[in-house]
Structures are given as structure tokens and as C-alpha cells.
Amino acid sequence: MKILLVAINAKYIHSNPAVHSLRSCAGKFKSCIEIAEFTINQTPSFILQEIYKKHPDVIAFSCYIWNRDMIDAFIPDLHRVLPHADIWAGGPEVSYDAAETAARWGLRGVMTGPGEAAFARLTTAYGTGTSRELPAVLDGNSIPRLKLDEIPFWYEDMQDFENRIIYYESSRGCPFSCSYCLSSIDRAMDFRGTERVCLELDYFLEKRVPQVKFIDRTFNCKKEHALPILRHILEHDNGVTNFHFEIAADLLDEDYFAILEKLRPGAVQLEIGVQSTCRETIAEIRRKTDFDKVAAVVRRVSSRKNIHIHLDLIAGLPFEDLQRFRCSFNDVYALRPQQLQLGFLKVLKGSEMERQAPVYDLAYTSRPPYEVLSTRWLSYEDICRLKQIEEMVEIYYNSGQFDHTLEFMNTLFESAFSMYESLAAWYEKHELFGVQSSRIRKYEILLEWGTACIADISRTQALREYLLYDLYLRENMKNRPVFAPSLAPWKDAVHHVLHRESREHTLFPELADRDYRELTKALHTEVFTYIYDEPTLVLFGYEHRNPLTNNGIAIGVSLK
């Protein structure tokens, strides 16, 4: 007997913790189970061929909003090439219309609810020849669910996860009841023992994995669980591994800050769902977020410059029209997180938001990911405008490659939202949406747009310098861009500073083993005359980078 667990992930760097957790709970039949992971970027025909090559007796798909259409595309052909294989599906995307999905896809059955115990029952039935007794809908809620502490640690061979994000679950469930989230349906909480969590994190630390992403819905919802884990990370930091947590910022207190403020820069990153700063909206979607407190926490954490912060907004929520969303955007942007995710409401099956959709005149796509098209407060035209702004934020803000330029341009507009609105209008006017632009072309576009916004010639020169500063802060490009001024007038001054550095190594001591020639290759030099109070030579080094931004080091030397 061979059971094949199939995961189709959104990206190659992702892995699917569900299928690994299911396999770990199969007991004596674990050896009969194989995992096959694909991505939505692969073709349905390729996935079909790869599944066929394994000749499984049973196939079980892990179904989500990002892969349901892909599975839909090859399921009919899978029946044709493997007519004797039993096909099952599970996951949130099939749990709320299980019978309908089973009929449409011709499945042997669908697993709903908590998966580990249900899958253990399924594998036992096939292993003992009693699979005919399995119901068409195998409901995990009707079977005593396994506690998190009963689920084995499935990371046995890290080679299987090379170049992929490592996902880890220390708690299951969520104490909150946000109307757009499926976690609000089952609010039962379960925690893996903190001592066991710390031992398992030691495994990742020993293996020096780049990142461990906790999939806990709200990591810090139980202080006596979260604090010991954070303290363990602080005390056993290996200088490499980054831990990602989704948290409720307004639950952080002095006990948390006492740990967070001591962490190595880059050891931890925090994702915080703001979603909206409109109190009426927050109340309607059943959240209890205090944005003033969230903002204070974010500012305090940011001031230490050691933790990457990711803030989320959701467009399409009730009571938030375009003007009110503009306020939410500006409120969150003012906090200057490293990442600002402008997401769009997904109306998930079984959620309270789905039930309330008629009340809100909420229209959404008929196919996954069931994304908002319009509401009583937002037209489809508004959504299209926000989509364009989202793309501008992704390209220019979230890339972290244009920070100083955007700060400079922001001073020319009444708000950050207005700035991105103007940039999106420029893209629209010049038919730039849908065009794959090179990195240097993005700088040129920003210069063209910025020049059109600026009347003062000296400020245009400053814009060019900010662009140049941002460009070389990230990368030592071999060819200088066309908008870079000539360095000929400063040639002797630049050589003088570099010769002195090659002798003294006071600015970049990490390059003390480099002679003058090697130093000129390792460093990049530019002279700025507008963005500093006086002509300044800036030396850009790349041996050490900022762990939060990935930028190199820039050191200025006055040329007066």
C-alpha cells in the first residue's frame, strides 16, 4: 500500500506543514506514506505526470485558496490515468462544501476539521483492509483530536527543507473572533509545552536554519507560553536564525519589552495585523484592537532598530470607503514598518464575513481566492485604484530599495497615500503596469515621475542624489546610472580618502586586509552636494549589512 500526500504550495520556498504533520501521526503505517510537494507555478500536466510516476493506491490533497483551481484542473485526468486509486482531499478549501466537492471531483472522500486523528484513522483503515468502512466525509471533530503535545516533531532530515521556510506550530486556535478569519470558528486553544518547544527550537538553532516561521495565529495570546520561548531565543541565539511571529501588539507589556529590546538585530520579526484604524470597522469585524496602543508599541519596538516589523491592512472591510481607507493607510505608513502589506479582503467559506456579505453588498470573485470586488462603501473602480497603489507599495516601499527617495518625495505631498496615488497615476498614464521593469529602470521611472512633480531645479538635483544614494546603499553596481553626475571634479579628493583608508582602516576595519586596489573594488564612492550640508564623499561598504533592511553601510567624509 502506498498513500501519497500531495501539497501544492504558492512558492518554492514554502513548505506545507499540514502534510508533514499528518504523516508524523500515521503510527506504524508511516512508512507507507510519501509526500509530494509542488508549486502553483508548475503546470497541471507536470504535476499529473509526477503523481502518476509514483503509482499510489491512495492520493490525499491538501487544499487551500491558492491551489484549489490548480487541483480542479487536473483531477479529471488523474482519475483517467490512475482509475483504481482512491482520492481524498482535506483542508479549509474543501471543509465547508465537502459533499459538493466530493461529488464534483469524484473523490472517495473528504476530511474535515482537525486532520491528524482523522488521517490516522484513514491510514489505519487502508493498512488493515477496512477502508470501505470509511465515511465519505471523515469529520475530525467527531474523533478525539490529538493535542499538540501528542504530534511528533516532523523535522527529521533538514535536507528535505533546504532553501525553504521552516514552519513551526507552538499553539493552535485563536482566542479572537475576527469575522473574516476561519480561526474564529473554533476558538479552542491548544499549546505545545514550552519546554518541548524550546528543545525543538534548539534543533533549528543547531542546524543554523535561516528562518523559522511560527504559524501560531496569535503567538503572544498566552503570556506564560510566549515569554519563555522568547527568552530561550534570546539566551540561545546562534547569530543566524530568524524567528517570525504573528502577534497582537497591544498585548505586549514591560515583561515582553525586557526581552525584545535585548535581541540581536534580525533575530526576530513581528507581524502585526492592524487591518484598519477605523473604530467602527474594527468593532464590526469583531476585533478589539486599540490602534493608539498598537502605534505606541510599534514606535517603541522600532526605536531599538533590532526587530523587523510587518504591518497588515485589509481593503474592503465594512464601513471603510476610499477616503477612510486613505486614513488607515496614512496612519499605518506613519509608523514606517519594514513591510506594509496592503491586502484585500478574502471572503472565506464558512466565515462570518461570508454570512454577512449580503448585508454589506459585498461582491467577491466566484473562484478562489474569493477576493473582494466591491462593497456598499467601495466601488470596483475604487478597488482597481487600490490595486494599483498596492503594486506601487510593493515595488517601491516593501522592496526597501528606495527609502530615502520616498522620504524626500513624501514631503511634496499632503500624505503618503497621495504620493502613491500620484505614482500609480504616472504608471497608468505611461502604460507601465504589466511591464517587467529592471531594477535600474525602476529608479529611472521614479526620477521621471519625481521630476514632473518638482518645479525647483535644486530639488530635482536632490532627487537624483537620493536615488543614487539608495541605489548604492543596496548594491555595488558596476555601471553608474545615466542620472549620476560626473565624479571628475572630485577625482583627487576621492583618491586621497581611499589611500588614507587603505593605510589606516578607520572607517571600515573589517576590510583591514585589503590594499588600495582591493579596497576600491570592495567599496563604492559617490560625492553628494545637495543632500548634505556640505560636499560629502560617501563610502558604501557591503561586507556588513543591516539585518533589517539588507542595506550596506554608508559613511560620509566632508570634502570641505
Full-model pTM: 0.94
Distances (CA, A) of 309 to 3, 24, 219, 235, 337: 41, 33, 15, 21, 5
Cell reading at 91: 483542508
Is the distance from CB of 51 to CB of 34 less than 8 angstroms? no
* Cα Rg of the chain, angstroms: 27
Positive or negative, the CA dihedral 329, 332, 336, 337 is negative
Whole-angstrom Cα distance, residue 371 to residue 208? 38
Q: What is the pLDDT of residue 188?
A: 79
For the chain, list residues with pLDDT below 70: 184, 186-187
Whole-angstrom Cα distance, residue 125 to residue 115? 15
Region class of 525: left (phi > 0), else alpha (psi between -120 and 50), else beta? beta
Distances (CA, A) of 437 to 383, 434, 446: 24, 9, 12
Q: What is the pLDDT of residue 496?
A: 94
Cell reading at 84: 483504481
Q: What is the pLDDT of residue 366?
A: 95
Q: What is the pLDDT of residue 184?
A: 66
Cell reading at 420: 502613491
Judging by DSSP bridges, how do beta strands 268-275 and 242-247 pair with one another? parallel
DSSP structural state of residue 511: G
